[in-house]
Amino acid sequence: MSTTAADVVVGTGPLSPAQVVAVARDGAPVVLGDDALAAIERSRAVVDALADDVQPHYGISTGFGALATRHIPPDRRAQLQRSLVRSHAASSGLPVEREVVRAMMLLRLSTLATGHTGVRPATARLLADLLTHGITPVVREHGSLGCSGDLAPLSHCALALMGEGEVETADGVVRPAAEALAAAGLTPVELGAKEGLALINGTDGMLGMLVMALADLTALLRVADVAAAMSVEALLGTDRVFAPELQALRPHPGQATSATNLAALLAGSGVVASHRGPDCNRVQDAYSLRCAPQVHGAARDTLAHASTVAERELAAAIDNPVVLPEDGRVESNGNFHGAPVAYVLDFLAIPVADVASMSERRTDRFLDKARNHGLPPFLADDPGVDSGLMIAQYTQAGVVAELKRLAVPASVDSIPSSAMQEDHVSMGWGAARKLRRAVDGLARVLAIEVMTAARGLELRRPLAPAPATGAVVELLREHGVGLPGPDRFLSPEIETAHRLVRTGEVLAAAQRHTALG
């Protein structure tokens, strides 16, 4: 086996979240490790030994789901696997994002590499080759109930291994799978006993979306602290409430991290210093300013719990039945149920909505002359002639309203399927899809707050912001965002702010002056 430093090597141990993101988003090539190939061969030997057994074995010599009572003769078993994949590749709707499909493929490969699924080495190698060549099956949005895993989405991936269905190539062109494989010098596989089931019976789609959401939210919660610090500063709030001795009275780790971030971001602020003296009659700030560490911190602690679940799932081998090579057995189980992942996907949507809601409230304070402490109404250049950022807050409010709807859990629902054999399902795929939308919504809300706070700080000149917040103001100024002045076409400015948040440029500007937890 020859690898490079850029390769992600799939072995018998768990992948890291960073490896999943590298393959899904950055197109990192994938290689199967020698230990994984050895484990795959051991489990395949068990399947081959049982294939000729007169006793029925689920997934090897029987039908599936409610049809598991039918024994399939040996001469029909190749057709059994083909039929399984073709019939289960039944998704509908718009294509799922390329990064989601790549994450799903990688995580299915990781389970194959554990040596508990019974696939052949050639089948696993081809899945790795598709990832390395950037060949991504077209998977449509609707079809998974999150139990038995993400059957329909994974079936579209398995279909591509058979040289059937549609794929998107590395250059973004959608082609028949057979053509794309041939162009890459790859040969489709004819699935053997149990292989079709092993390729589709996993929670890999919802887990992949969870891992990427965790990466996104880790960054966005830091951006939320940046946005809050800019708002506290420009609204003439105090930094005294972020003192560590006050935060220690309620010892939540996320709260302590957020308060430390806010204090560091405001360090050296000329704006804060301007009203720190004894003549300041401000007793305490509004909740959206004063309680930012409590809300952002609770979101961080929720994120930490979800990360723990993701780490456990990355170490799991999800299939049914599973191969136990040490005992020479193939056993049915319920590990494919998506509840553990579905719950945290739903859980994360709650703090996403709440952090965004608090951000919108801070933005609204800037626009009300009764609450913004001397700034013009709506931060407008000529109020009445100009509307300033009035409708930017409408946009925020619309997104926040949607985030509240997206916070309604999917995992409390269950619709029985497969003639009541699969009578309780997780709906984890749906929970993952709505969380992806929610994460993007949070980024848009924070972008508008950052843009608004930057204009507020510009209007406080000649008072100087803190070095960290000032760096964000300067970044936005370079891109024509947040500048005071007469009304202009605002949508492109909002989209630019959103891009600067999502690419990490806002966070990087602040972190050039202070490290953020």
Quote the pLDDT of residue 78: 80
Start-to-end Cα distance in the chain: 39
How do residues 104-146 score in pLDDT, each as one tens digit?
999 999 999 999 999 999 999 999 999 999 999 999 999 999 8
Dist. CA 393–CA 451, nearest whole Å: 11
5: pLDDT strictly greater than 60: no
What confidence category does residue 278 fall into, taking pLDDT thresholds of 50, 70 and 90?
A: low
What confidence category does residue 224 fall into, taking pLDDT thresholds of 50, 70 and 90?
A: very high
**In sequence order, what DSSP letters do the residues of 345-408 get, joined into one string?**
HHHHHHHHHHHHHHHHHHHHHHH-TTTSSSPPGGG-SSBTTB-TTHHHHHHHHHHHHHHHHHTS
How do residues 437-465 score in pLDDT, each as one tens digit?
999 999 999 999 999 999 999 999 999 99
Least confident piece of the model among 145-159, 203-217, 351-365, 487-501: 145-159
Residue 411 preceded by cis peptide, ω within 30: no
β-partners of residue 322 are 331
What confidence category does residue 3 fall into, taking pLDDT thresholds of 50, 70 and 90?
A: low
**In sequence order, what DSSP letters do the residues of 77-124 get, joined into one string?**
HHHHHHHHHHHH---EEEEPPHHHHHHHHHHHHHHHTTT-S---HHHH
How do residues 253-274 score in pLDDT, each as one tens digit?
999 999 999 999 999 999 999 9
Q: Tell me if residue 230 falls in helix, strand or coil.
A: helix
Rounded to the nearest 5 percent, the helix, strand and coil shares of the chain are 55, 5, 35
> β-pairing, 322-324 with 329-331?
antiparallel
- Alpha-carbon dihedral of residues 57, 60, 62, 64, nearest 10 degrees? 110
Quote the pLDDT of residue 65: 66
How much of the chain exceeds pLDDT 90, in percent? 85
Dist. CA 185–CA 317, nearest whole Å: 30
With 0-12 CB in 10 A as exposed, 13-18 as middle and 19+ as buried, what is 398? middle
Sorted by sequence, the CB contacts under 8 Å of residue 283 that are 6+ apart come out as: none
How do residues 47-104 score in pLDDT, each as one tens digit?
988 877 667 777 777 777 666 677 777 777 788 889 999 999 999 999 999 999 999 9
27: pLDDT strictly greater than 90: yes
With 0-12 CB in 10 A as exposed, 13-18 as middle and 19+ as buried, what is 157? buried
Quote the pLDDT of residue 307: 98
CATH 1.10.10.10 fits domain 209-317+347-511: no
Say if CB 132 and CB 41 are below 8 A apart: no
pTM: 0.95
Say if CB 254 and CB 206 are below 8 A apart: no
pLDDT, mean of residues 487-492: 98
Say if CB 269 and CB 466 are below 8 A apart: yes
pLDDT, mean of residues 408-416: 93
Is residue 343 annotated as part of the catalytic site, yes or no? no
Mean residue pLDDT of the chain comes to 94
Q: Fold match between 8-202 and 209-317+347-511?
A: no
Quote the pLDDT of residue 12: 84
Dist. CA 259–CA 238, nearest whole Å: 12
Choose among 241, 274, 275, 273: nearest CA to 260: 241
Q: Which CATH number fits domain 8-202: 3.40.640.10, 3.30.70.260, 1.50.10.10, 1.10.275.10?
A: 1.10.275.10
Q: Which of 58, 287, 343, 394 is catalytic?
A: 58
Quote the pLDDT of residue 50: 83
What confidence category does residue 506 fall into, taking pLDDT thresholds of 50, 70 and 90?
A: very high
Quote the pLDDT of residue 137: 98
Dist. CA 205–CA 140, nearest whole Å: 12
Quote the pLDDT of residue 76: 78
Sorted by sequence, the CB contacts under 8 Å of residue 440 that are 6+ apart come out as: none
- Going from N- to C-terminal start, the domains of the chain cover 8-202, 209-317+347-511
Quote the pLDDT of residue 280: 65
